[in-house]
Chains A and B, each alone.
Chain A
Amino acid sequence: MKFKLLDINLTEKTVGIMEIPADKIRKYIGGRGLGGRLLLDLLPGNVDPLGPENVMIWLAGPMTGSLVPGCTKHAVVTKSPQTNGFVDSYSSGGVGFQLVYAGYNGMIVRGKAQTPSYLYIRDDQVEIRDASHLWGLDSYEASSRLLKELGEEGFGHAVIGPAGENLVKFACINNDFYRQSARGGVGAVMGSKNLKALVVKGTGGVSCRDIPGFLAFNKQKLASAKVSGGAAAHKRAGTAITFDATQAAGMLPTKNFQFGTFPPAADNLDSAGVIKKAKASVACLGCPVPCGMILECTDSAGKIFRLEGPEYETTGLLGTNLGISSMDAVAEANMLCDTLGMDTIAVGAVISFLMEANEKGMIPAEFAEQAGINFGDIEGTLRLVKDIAYRRGIGEWAAEGVAYLAGKVGQGSEHFAMHSKGLAFPAYDPRRAFGAGLAYAVSPRGACHRRAWPPALEVFGDVPPYTAEGKGVAIKGLYDERNILHSLIACDFQGFAVPCSLAEFANYLRLVTDLDYSDEELAIIADRVETTIRMFNVREGLSRKDDTLPGRVLDDPMPDGPAAGQHITQAGLDRMLDDYYLSRGWDSNGIPTKETLAKYEIEEGQR
Chain B
Amino acid sequence: MKLQFNQKECVGCEMCSLVCTLTHEGVTGLEQARIKIARNYPSLMDPLFKAAFCQNCANAECIAVCAVNALVEDAEGIVHLDPELCIGCGNCVEACPFQAIWMDAKTDKAFKCDLCGGKPECVGYCLHDALKFE
Contact = CB atoms under 8 A, between A and B. Distances in A.
Interface of A: 65-67, 101, 140, 143-144, 153-154, 176-178, 202-208, 211, 214-215, 219, 222, 225-226, 231, 235, 279-288, 290, 294, 306-308
A226 B12 CA distance: 16
Interface in B20-52: 21-23, 25-32, 38-39, 41-46, 48
Nearest to B124: A219
A67 B29 CA distance: 9
B105 interface: yes
A154 B32 CA distance: 12
Given A279-B46, A283-B12, 19 more contacts: A65-B28, A101-B31, A203-B32, A205-B27, A205-B30, A205-B31, A206-B27, A206-B29, A214-B22, A215-B23, A225-B127, A280-B48, A281-B11, A282-B11, A285-B13, A286-B14, A286-B18, A294-B48, A307-B44
B26 A211 contact: yes
Nearest to A294: B44
Interface of B: 11-15, 18-19, 21-23, 25-32, 38-39, 41-46, 48, 105-106, 124-125, 127-128
Contacts of B45: 306
A139 to B, nearest CB: 10
Contacts of A279: 44, 46, 48
Contacts, number: 103
A290 B13 contact: yes
B44 A207 contact: no
Query: Which 6 A-B pairs rank lowest in CB-CB distance, beginning with the nearest?
Result: A205-B29, A205-B27, A290-B11, A283-B13, A306-B44, A203-B31
A67 B21 CA distance: 10
Contact of B30 (A101, A144, A214, A306): A101
Contacts of B27: 204-208
B31 to A, nearest CB: 4
Chain B contact surface mostly: loop
Among B15, B105, B124, chain A packs the most CB atoms within 10 A around the CB of B15
A143 B42 CA distance: 10
A101 B29 contact: yes
A285 B105 CA distance: 23
A66 B25 CA distance: 13
A66 B13 contact: no
A453 B106 CA distance: 45
Contacts of B23: 211, 215
11 contacts: A67-B125, A176-B41, A204-B29, A206-B27, A211-B23, A215-B23, A222-B125, A235-B128, A283-B13, A285-B14, A308-B44
A222 B127 contact: yes
A130 B38 CA distance: 28
Contacts of B41: 176-178
A230 B6 CA distance: 23
Nearest to B104: A203
Contacts of A225: 127
Nearest to A63: B28
A429 to B, nearest CB: 32
B26 to A, nearest CB: 6
A306 B25 CA distance: 37
Contacts of B46: 279
B127 A205 contact: no
Contacts of A222: 125, 127
B14 A205 contact: no
A207 B11 CA distance: 25
Contacts of B106: 203
B104 to A, nearest CB: 9
Contacts of B39: 282
B13 A203 contact: no
Given A203-B105, A205-B29, A288-B127, A67 B15 contact: yes
Among A205, A214, A286, chain B packs the most CB atoms within 10 A around the CB of A205
A285 B29 CA distance: 11
A75 B42 CA distance: 23
Given A226-B127, A306-B43, A205 B25 contact: yes
A153 B19 CA distance: 21
A226 B126 CA distance: 9
Nearest to B37: A285
Contacts of B13: 283-288, 290
Contacts of B15: 67, 286
B18 A178 contact: no
B22 to A, nearest CB: 6
Nearest to B27: A205
A235 B42 contact: no
A287 B14 CA distance: 9
A132 to B, nearest CB: 23
B18 A285 contact: yes
Contacts of A290: 11-13, 128
A307 B44 CA distance: 7
Given A154-B31, A204-B31, A205-B27, A211 B44 contact: no
B11 A283 contact: yes
Given A154-B31, A282-B12, A285-B13, A205 B21 contact: yes
B26 A235 contact: no
B18 to A, nearest CB: 5
Nearest to B25: A205
A205 B28 contact: yes
Contacts of A281: 11
A67 B13 CA distance: 10
Contacts of B22: 67, 205, 208, 211, 214-215
A204 B105 CA distance: 10
Contacts of A294: 44, 48
A287 B125 CA distance: 11
B81 to A, nearest CB: 19
